[in-house]
Structure 1
């Protein structure tokens, strides 16, 4: 069952990633990219990494994709105003992408042995174990970071208020 879900998510992720590249409409490309991010999040769930799934969905499929859609809509891309690429540039891009594929295949050669090994503690990536580690072993850095973020928020509010008060 899990293997079938993995294959389905992989197929949809690869298909939607290809559609991101080959889609002519930039809004459709962003929507296909959201589908790709959800499929990658599904892979995190299959690995029992619920925290990574939630963070991935909130950060990438939520915040960054909304920003991409906003920028695309603000740019108002038209085919008439878009400059056309020369044939030499297209050939150079094809050669560079082929070289990138060769480098990736070469770097992944021999990794099938690492994929078959199971981790010793399968529950290491759960949110409960992450919370225990964060609040037991890293409590002081966690609290220092929270105070630093609070100070940055207060500073941003003060800077924003002083500009509006002067007007």
Structure 2
């Protein structure tokens, strides 16, 4: 039964992710994103990671989605033609990243993930939260730093996209 829930959550996550980028209305996209966030939390529960499920709901379904909706509502969401010509470069970068991921997976080898036995959270030992922090800053330090750099690039990109053109500011004022 647990495997059926896992496949249900995985299917809904994949479908909602496609809807997030396929829907033209940003509000409908945000609703699909909300569905995806809650199903990711459900997927965490099926993997016995209740802390991550709670963080997923609080941080992503709460804060990040509200931030996204504020940005959508505050910005004038009009069709912008200057970014439509960049899709070939975006496709090339995406294909390059995909090929790199395949090569890295082939070089390292694909290993099945280990399932927690439930004995790791005994009283007096490190809890689930402490174990996550320990593994995050020791074993997965490099991917953690890469994720932080990706977030930094996304933040800089958002600032550049939100910045007004100097010519438009001079003509208004």
The TM-score, its normalising length taken from structure 1, stands at: 0.65
**What is the DSSP-based 3-state SS (H/G/I as helix, E as strand, rest coil) of the residue aligned with 2:77?**
coil
Q: Which residue of 1 aligns with 2:164?
A: none
**Counterpart for residue 61 of structure 1:** 61
**Preserved CA contact (<8 Å) 2:51 2:128:** no
Structure 1: tracts of 5 or more residues without a match: 135-167
SS of 1:65's equivalent in the other structure is helix
Give, in angstroms, the shift of residue 78 of structure 1.
2.4
| Gap runs ≥5 in structure 2 | 132-173
Alignment of 1:90-101 (within 5 A): 90-101=87-98
Task: Pick 1 or 2: higher relative contact order, CA cutoff 8 A, min separation 6.
Answer: 1
What per-residue deviation string (whole Å, max 9, x for no partner) do you get for residues 118-162 of structure 1? 44x424369x9738979xxxxxxxxxxxxxxxxxxxxxxxxxxxx
TM-score, scaled to structure 2: 0.63
Q: CA deviation at 1:16?
A: 0.9
Larger radius of gyration: 1
For 1:7-156, what aligned pairs fall within 5 Å after superposition? 7-79=7-79, 82-87=80-85, 89-109=86-106, 111-115=109-113, 117-119=114-116, 121-124=117-120, 130=127
Aligned counterpart, 2:158: none
Instruction: Give the CA RMSD over aligned residues.
Output: 2.8
2:102, 2:128 → 1: CA distance?
Answer: 37
CA distance in 1, matches of 2:5, 2:12: 11
The Cα of 1:96 is off from its aligned counterpart by 1.2
